[in-house]
Structures are given as structure tokens and as C-alpha cells.
């Protein structure tokens, strides 16, 4: 499959990436702009195993140019060989495919670069920053870290989305997306310093658009002094 994926596919092949074909088994619209697809894994989970926040690269046809986007697995079932994917819909080839996907449709996928290392010592408090694009990963993170309390800054409305924040141990702080993410950065800067003061073993997890993720990561590392082994930051999309 790698030959049809351009230079990105060729590089991934050299890095021993594994290719699979997924088949759509069902679809549901969570909201007008958020769609969940159910898929069979083409043997992937038996080959790769499963870990929290696990993600795959899907390959879409974009004219003559291959286009890939990464998505976090939702509720992977190793025994059944199934999982779901959730799409925050907007304009673009990936969203167009997700909108039209029906049972029986197939999509090529590559697995490489995904991983999860549980922080040690176990966090006494999790601080997460994300948006609809990273919501599946936030949910997976909350599931993986068990009973640890969490504060989540969520950019955009989460009321109708499948957010798994448990009000008994998770605080969800919804933040409007304003000024290309600047409002979120300002909110975190206002809130996080005092919250960190009362936390012995924090874990900071950042997954916003690339530019916002860089700003937040630099702030947490350089100005708040959180060591790199106590945080994770990954840009989930690029603002156009």
C-alpha cells in the first residue's frame, strides 16, 4: 500500500509502519458537526495490541495527491477486532469522507508513532487542554488514568459531545475559541499556576491546534517549570 501514499507513505514504510484496511460497519451523527463511525480493524488490533490514546493514520483520496490524517481509536475491542472513530466535521477531504461513509466502505490506514507511557509516579491531578478534534484522546486519557482528579480546559462547546468527564472527579472548563486560540492560552495562564501549587505530582496533557499547543507547552515548561516527563504536548490540527 505504501507506494500509493507518496513520499509520506514511503518514509513510513522505511520506519516499519504497518498498513491495514478498515471496513465501516456503521455510522451515527452525534451532532450536526460531530460524526462517529464504527469499523472492523482488518486484523490490526491482534497485530499491534491496544494502548490508551492509540491513534492511526487514515489515507484519503484527494485528487492525485494522497492525504493522511490521524485519529484516536474509540473503545477498541481486541477480541472482536473493532473500534470507532470520531470526526469533528469541517471543510476538507477527511470530513467529506466521514460524512458520506456507509457500511461496507473501506479506508486504508497506517500505524506508526503511536504510544503511551503512563506517568510515574501516578498523577495526583491531571491538567488537560483540548478541543473537539482531540476529544477522543482526552476521553481515552481519562479512562487510562483511573481515579486521578482532572481539570480540563475544553475549547468549544462540549455539552452535546461524548465527553467522558465525570463530575465527581473531573472539572470541565469550557472556553470559547477566540483570537486563534489566544483566549484559551489566557485562561490557562490565569488558572493553572494556582492549581499547580497544590499538586504534588501533576501531569499536563496538551492537544490543541499546533500553534496553540506550542504556546501552551512553552508556557508550562519554561514559565511554570513542569518537567518534560510530567507532560505531553501534540498539535492535533493546523489552523488555516
Q: Round the CA-based radius of gyration of the chain to a whole number and report it.
A: 18
d(CA 45, CA 144): 18
Which of the four pLDDT bands, split at 50, 70 and 90, describes residue 16?
low
Q: Which of 169, 133, 137, 160 is nearest to 32 (CA)?
A: 160
What is the rounded average pLDDT of the residues 121-133?
95
Q: How many CB atoms lie within 10 A of CB 1?
A: 14
Q: What's residue 118's pLDDT?
A: 85
pLDDT > 70? residue 124? yes
Which of the four pLDDT bands, split at 50, 70 and 90, describes residue 64?
confident
Pairing between strand 34-40 and 106-111? unpaired
pLDDT > 60? residue 10? no
Judge whether 2-111 and 125-233 match in fold.
Answer: no
- Residues of the chain with pLDDT > 70, as a percent, come to 93
The terminus-to-terminus CA distance of the chain in angstroms comes to 29
Which of the four pLDDT bands, split at 50, 70 and 90, describes residue 108?
very high
pLDDT > 50? residue 14? no
Exposed/middle/buried for residue 173 (C-beta within 10 Å: 0-12, 13-18, 19+): middle
pLDDT > 90? residue 61? no
Does residue 94 contact residue 13 with C-beta atoms inside 8 Å?
no
What is the CATH code for 2-111? 2.40.30.10
Average of per-residue pLDDT values in the chain: 90
Domain residue extents for the chain: 2-111, 125-233
pLDDT > 80? residue 151? yes
What CATH class has 125-233? Answer: alpha beta
Lowest model confidence (mean pLDDT) among 11-15, 18-22, 124-128 = 11-15
Q: What's residue 2's pLDDT?
A: 44
Q: What's residue 44's pLDDT?
A: 96
What's the whole-model pTM score? 0.87
Render the chain in DSSP notation, one character per residue. -GGGGHHHHHHHHHTT-EEEEEEEEEEEEEETTEEEEEEE-TTHHHHH---TT-EEEEEEEETTEEEEEEEE-EEEETTTTEEEEEEE--SSHHHHHHHH--TT-EEEEEE-S------SSPPSEEEEEE-GGGHHHHHHHHHHTTT--EEEEEES--TTS-----TTTEEEEEE---GGGHHHHHHHHHHHHHHHHT-SSEEEEEESBHHHHHHHHHIIIIIS---GGGEEE---B---
Q: What's residue 125's pLDDT?
A: 97
- Residues of the chain with pLDDT > 90, as a percent, come to 78
Q: What's residue 240's pLDDT?
A: 63
Amino acid at each position: 500500500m505504501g507506494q500509493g501514499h507518496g513520499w509520506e507513505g514511503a518514509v513510513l514504510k522505511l520506519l516499519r509502519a504497518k498498513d491495514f484496511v478498515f471496513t465501516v460497519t456503521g455510522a451515527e451523527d452525534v451532532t450536526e458537526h460531530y460524526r462517529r463511525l464504527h469499523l472492523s480493524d482488518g486484523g490490526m488490533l491482534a497485530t499491534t495490541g491496544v494502548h490508551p490514546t492509540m491513534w492511526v493514520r487514515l489515507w484519503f483520496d484527494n485528487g492525485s495527491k494522497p492525504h493522511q490524517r490521524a485519529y484516536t481509536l474509540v473503545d477498541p475491542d481486541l477480541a472482536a477486532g473493532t473500534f470507532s472513530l470520531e470526526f469533528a466535521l469541517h471543510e476538507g477531504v477527511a470530513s467529506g469522507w466521514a460524512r458520506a461513509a456507509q457500511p461496507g466502505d473501506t479506508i486504508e490506514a497506517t500505524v506508526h508513532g503511536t504510544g503511551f507511557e503512563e506517568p510515574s509516579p501516578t498523577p495526583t491531578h491531571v491538567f488537560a487542554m483540548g478541543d473537539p478534534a482531540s476529544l477522543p484522546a482526552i476521553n481515552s486519557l481519562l479512562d487510562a488514568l483511573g481515579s486521578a482528579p482532572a481539570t480540563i480546559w475544553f475549547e468549544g462547546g462540549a455539552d452535546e459531545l461524548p465527553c467522558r468527564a465525570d463530575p465527581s472527579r473531573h472539572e470541565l472548563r469550557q472556553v470559547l475559541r477566540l483570537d486563534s486560540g489566544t483566549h484559551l492560552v489566557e485562561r490557562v495562564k490565569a488558572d493553572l499556576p494556582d492549581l499547580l501549587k497544590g499538586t504534588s505530582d501533576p501531569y499536563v496533557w496538551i492537544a490543541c491546534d499546533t500553534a496553540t499547543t506550542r504556546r501552551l507547552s512553552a508556557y508550562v515548561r519554561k514559565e511554570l517549570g513542569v518537567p518534560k516527563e510530567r507532560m505531553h504536548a501534540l498539535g492535533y490540527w493546523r489552523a488555516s
